[in-house]
């Protein structure tokens, strides 16, 4: 089959999980023999990062990457942000999407590449991953006034507080009109599907998680992380919404237990200042995939203290890949993952967190048991082969219905027949 993946960010022009998902999906499909075209916006990355790309990413020979440059730089991007339309880069996007002979067009986060208007381009089967909340939240993360999760929208005030220009397209009917073009939205979690539905997104939604490829085994024997001392592990962007600031006081009070923090971000200096003097708290910066896997493997547990509404929680899948349990803040998709698959503990209060850390620092049997649960979940749901089998099953079922001129809700087939019983919202 021929796929086109449309994503604002794509490595190495990439910040976080949305671009990595696009990269993994493109190359995973390519390894199975499919032809994949990728359209992305290096201009968006360069203007936001204020630097060139970093990291080394190689694409499979079946992946054809095309950079869609935005004329007028930041002014061109502002037009996309304001009008929810490709504006100055519309002609080039149309050239690829309208003229390309694709079976599937898969949209990712396209907020600065074409906005929702780009959903109208092309005639293939159209999918859109709800990998962020950008369709229903101008700040993308449902994090209100930089202090709490958004339970009741105050979009204009929140946007101004976040020092972003209010988006004009959100006050029109563009989202409702444009999203009718999407045959199915792919929701990484039931929680995320529910949040989008609650905030007005209509259409077919199919639950399908994100995935994490098994890292390559490094033949050379590596030294043990943290000089062999037991530790708990955090990995991710160092931003306020990720909640690391709530871990540091707990480990300050527990000098016999180590915390290793991998990643970087705008909140990094604040966190390092907060941790000054605590010799059991260590910042190690960004790591490559194989290094990360080693740190996961030897950790007592991976900590996921996100304060925001996570759409999935790829860190959980990465930890499960290494047979390492997780301790997650009990909300959003993180709570859903642990309650559905096991493989970890949840907490709501600081006291709960301390208890969970103590359990996994002292009870090796519990750690091993939870680690095995996580690994089983990884093999069933989050490994590349398992995910792509589920994904292609979804694609084939949708193509069959589309070619027959039927919508899923009127096809007369039960959900158990469609997508092997995966949850579907109509």
Q: Phi first, then psi: what are they for 374, rounded to 5°?
A: -60, -40
Residue 415 scores a pLDDT above 70? no
Residue 418 pLDDT > 60: no
* pLDDT (0 to 100) of residue 382: 96
Helix (H) or strand (E) holding 198: helix 190-198
Give yes or no for residue 407 having a pLDDT over 70.
no
Measured in whole angstroms, the distance separating CA 222 from the mean position of its chain's CA atoms is: 30
Residue 379 has φ and ψ, to the nearest 5°, of: -65, -35
Q: Determine the pLDDT at residue 399.
A: 95
Comparison of pLDDT for 422 and 373, the residue scoring more: 373
For residue 412, pLDDT over 70 is answered with no
What is the DSSP code (8-state) at residue 10?
B
Q: Residue 266 has what DSSP assignment?
A: T
CB under 8 Å to 342, separation ≥6 — which residues?
370, 373, 374, 377
Judged by average pLDDT, the poorest of 2-6, 123-127, 178-182, 421-425 is 421-425
Average pLDDT (172-189) is 96
Tell me which CATH code domain 2-207 carries: 3.40.50.2000
Tens digits of residue pLDDT in 258-290? 999 999 999 999 999 999 999 999 999 988 888
Mean pLDDT across 248-254: 95
Local structure of residue 123 (DSSP, 8 states) = S
The CATH number of 225-380 is 3.40.50.2000
Q: What is the DSSP letter of 410?
A: G
Per-residue confidence band for 420, with pLDDT thresholds at 50, 70 and 90: low
- For the chain, the structural domain boundaries read 2-207, 225-380
pLDDT band at 50, cuts 50/70/90? confident
The more confidently predicted of residues 29 and 401 is 29
Identify the band that residue 2 occupies on the pLDDT scale cut at 50, 70 and 90: very high
Is the confidence at residue 27, as pLDDT, over 90? Answer: yes
Q: At what angle do helices 314-321 and 289-298 cross, to 10 degrees?
A: 70
330: β partners = none
Q: Would you place residue 45 in the very low, low, confident or very high pLDDT band (cuts 50, 70, 90)?
A: very high
Tokens 């599907």 label which residue?
A: 193
Examine the pLDDT at 30 and tell me if it is beyond 90: yes
* Residue 162, pLDDT score: 92
Is the predicted pLDDT of residue 221 greater than 60, yes or no?
A: no
- Distances in Å between the alpha carbon of 283 and those of 84, 233, 248, 290? 39, 10, 12, 18
pLDDT reading at 228 higher than 80? yes
Phi-psi group of 74: left, alpha or beta (phi > 0 → left; psi -120 to 50 → alpha; rest → beta): alpha
Is the pLDDT at 216 greater than 90, yes or no? no
- For the ranges 116-130, 214-228, 230-244, the lowest mean pLDDT is seen at 214-228
pLDDT of 220 reads 53
Dump the DSSP string for 59-121: --TTEEEEE---TTTHHHHHHHHHHSS-GGGHHHHHHHHHHS--SEEEE---TTTTTGGGGGS
pLDDT level of residue 403 (50, 70, 90 thresholds): confident
Q: Tokens representing 56?
A: 């080394």
Element (DSSP H or E) covering residue 281: strand 281-285
Whether residue 381 has pLDDT greater than 70: yes
**410 class by beta-carbon count within 10 Å (0-12 exposed, 13-18 middle, 19+ buried):** exposed
pLDDT at 52: 84
pLDDT tens, 75-127?
999 999 999 999 999 999 999 999 999 999 999 999 999 999 999 999 999 99
Q: How far apart (Å, rounded) are the C-alpha atoms in residues 74 and 49? A: 12
Structure confidence at residue 410 as a pLDDT band (50, 70, 90)? low
- Work out the pLDDT band at 204, boundaries 50, 70, 90: very high
- Across the beta sheet with 281-285, the strand order is 281-285, 258-262, 231-235, 301-304, 326-329, 344-347
What integer is the mean pLDDT of 301-321? 96
pLDDT in tens, 82-93: 999 999 999 999
Could you tell me the sign of the dihedral formed by the alpha carbons of 153, 156, 161, 163, in that order?
Answer: positive
Three-class DSSP category at 254: coil
Q: Measured at the alpha carbon of residue 407, what is the angle toward residues 401 and 410, in degrees to the nearest 5?
A: 110
Q: Do the domains at 2-207 and 225-380 have one common CATH topology? A: yes
How far is it, in rounded angstroms, from Cα 355 to Cα 350? 9
Strands 301-304 and 231-235: parallel
- What local confidence, expressed as pLDDT, does residue 15 receive? 84
């Amino acid at each position: 089959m021929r796929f086109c993946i449309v994503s604002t960010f794509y490595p190495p022009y990439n910040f976080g999980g949305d671009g990595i998902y696009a990269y993994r999906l493109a190359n995973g499909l390519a390894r199975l023999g499919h032809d994949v075209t990728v359209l992305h916006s290096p201009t968006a990355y360069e203007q936001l990062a204020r630097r060139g790309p970093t990291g080394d990413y190689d694409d499979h020979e079946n992946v054809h990457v095309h950079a869609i440059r935005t004329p007028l730089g930041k002014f061109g991007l502002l037009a996309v942000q304001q009008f929810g339309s490709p504006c100055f880069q519309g002609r080039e996007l149309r050239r690829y999407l309208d003229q390309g002979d694709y079976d599937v067009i898969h949209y990712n986060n396209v907020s600065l590449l074409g906005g929702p208007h780009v959903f109208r381009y092309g005639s293939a089967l159209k999918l859109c991953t709800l990998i962020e909340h950008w369709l229903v939240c101008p700040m993308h993360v449902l994090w209100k006034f930089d202090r709490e999760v958004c339970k009741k929208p105050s979009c204009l005030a929140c946007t101004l507080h976040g020092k972003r220009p209010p988006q004009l397209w959100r006050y029109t009917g563009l989202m409702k009109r444009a999203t009718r073009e999407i045959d199915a939205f792919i929701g990484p979690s039931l929680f995320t599907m529910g949040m989008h539905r609650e905030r007005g997104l209509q259409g077919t939604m199919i639950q399908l998680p994100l995935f994490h490829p098994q890292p390559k085994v490094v033949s050379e024997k590596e030294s043990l992380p943290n000089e062999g001392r037991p530790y708990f592990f955090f990995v991710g962007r160092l931003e306020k919404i990720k909640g690391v600031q709530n871990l540091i006081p707990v480990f300050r009070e527990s000098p016999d237990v180590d915390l290793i923090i991998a990643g970087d971000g705008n909140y990094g200096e604040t966190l390092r200042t907060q941790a000054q003097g605590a010799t059991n708290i260590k910042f190690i910066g960004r790591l490559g995939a194989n290094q990360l896997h080693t740190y996961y493997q030897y950790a007592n547990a991976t900590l996921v203290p996100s304060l925001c509404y996570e759409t999935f929680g790829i860190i959980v899948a990465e930890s499960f890949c290494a047979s390492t349990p997780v301790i997650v803040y009990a909300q959003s998709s993180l709570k859903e993952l642990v309650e559905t698959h096991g493989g970890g503990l949840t907490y709501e209060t600081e006291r709960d967190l301390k208890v969970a850390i103590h359990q996994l620092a002292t009870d090796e049997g519990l750690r091993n048991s939870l680690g095995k649960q996580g690994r089983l979940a990884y093999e069933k749901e989050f490994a590349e082969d398992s995910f792509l089998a589920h994904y292609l099953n979804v694609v084939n079922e949708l193509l069959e219905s589309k070619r027959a001129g039927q919508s899923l809700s009127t096809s007369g087939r039960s959900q158990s027949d469609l997508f092997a019983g995966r949850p579907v919202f109509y």
